[in-house]
Structures are given as structure tokens and as C-alpha cells.
Amino acid sequence: MIVKSVLDPEFRRYGRVVQGLDVQPLLRALESETPCPSGSVLYVPSCPQLEALPVFEPLQNRVYGGMPIQIGYCNGDNHLLGCLEYHRDSEINIPATPMIFLVAPQQEITDGHLDTACVEAFRAPAGTVVELYATTLHYAPVTDSDQKGFRVAVVLPRGTNTEKPEIVPNDPQDPLLFARNKWLIAHPDAPEARQGAFVGLTGENIRA
């Protein structure tokens, strides 16, 4: 699979690199205060240590326009696509180590299904502030080839990825709702498929 950069023009359909934020204290806190498991991925939606840092206010007010936000992290070691998710808003990712995003356009979903041939790969350098647009399908990052794992801060509206609301399905997208503000499509080989996620990824479970 060809791996491009989030700095390349091809990434513009999926997101952008946010400028003008001092994220160095956040990167240091990711390295010193958050665990990084080997051979698995740990996601924590909200981390008080990260939310206490000075970058919280400009992220909330400049990037999200004053909406309540949470700062969590996604750390570990991953080499498979597994699933794709989307939210009703942008997601900010701030990697402390180089990592790779596997992404696809939400517009390619048909009746909850998507061919993984639509997926593209983009490398994010450490320290970049990457906005993934609401229409960008994404999931856990993939470990860069010369790294042993990754650490990345994840910024979303507060409450995202927490308990799933109870709904009566009445729309084709409703079966994809997996958690609060989280619509998920799983590959048949993904563990999430055995946890009740909607199985809608067809084709190869991409390894990168």
C-alpha cells in the first residue's frame, strides 16, 4: 500500500494540519503519563492529566469554537485496519510518535457497506495537529514501519465514544451506532464484529 503524508495535497479531502498550537507539553505528557501496550491498542476517551494542560483552552475555543471537548489518547501497536468509524464532527489527533492513518470517504458507504479498496494511508509526523473531517472514516492508527508503537492524543466533543444511547432503529445508519457519537463498520475478522459491531467492510482487512 502506498503511504502518503498528511502534508500532501491528496490529504485535503480528508482533513488538514492545524497551525499555531503549542503542543510540546502535551507530547511530553503523552510520553511520561500514558501507557503504551505492546501488541494491542488502548483508547481512553478523557484523560484529566492531558485536559489540565494549557493547550486545552485553544483546542476548545479556537479549533472547536467553544464546544465542550475531551482530550484522551490512543496508544499501542497496530497493523490492521479492522474497522472504520465516523462522528458528527471533526476529530483532532496529535501524535507523539510518527503514525499512519487509514482513511476513506464516508460518501463511499452504501447501505452500511464499504469496500476496503477505497482506503488510503497517510503518515503523520510527530507533533503535527491533524484534523480529520466528520466525513472521514478512520479508526485506530497503524504503527509506522520504523516504530515499535504509537502514542497519540485524541480530541473530540465531550462524551464521544462513551456509553451508547438507547435508540429504536429507524434509519439505515442506525445499526452502525456503536457508542455515543460513534458509528462503526467492522471487518468480519475484527474483534469488534464479535462484540456486536455492524459488519460492513468488504475486501481485504488491510495490513500496513
Contacts of 121 (CB under 8 A, 6+ apart): 1, 2, 3, 4, 100, 101, 102, 103, 142, 208
How far apart CA 82 and CA 206 sit, in angstroms, is 8
pLDDT of 1 over the 90 cut? no
Go through the domains of the chain in sequence order and give each one's CATH number: 3-80+89-160 (2.60.120)
Q: What is the pTM of this model?
A: 0.96
pLDDT of 165 over the 90 cut? yes
Backbone angles phi, psi at 63, to 5 degrees: -80, -40
| Predicted confidence (pLDDT) per residue in 105-139, tens digit | 999 999 999 999 999 999 999 999 999 999 999 99
| Predicted confidence (pLDDT) per residue in 34-66, tens digit | 999 999 999 999 999 999 999 999 999 999 999
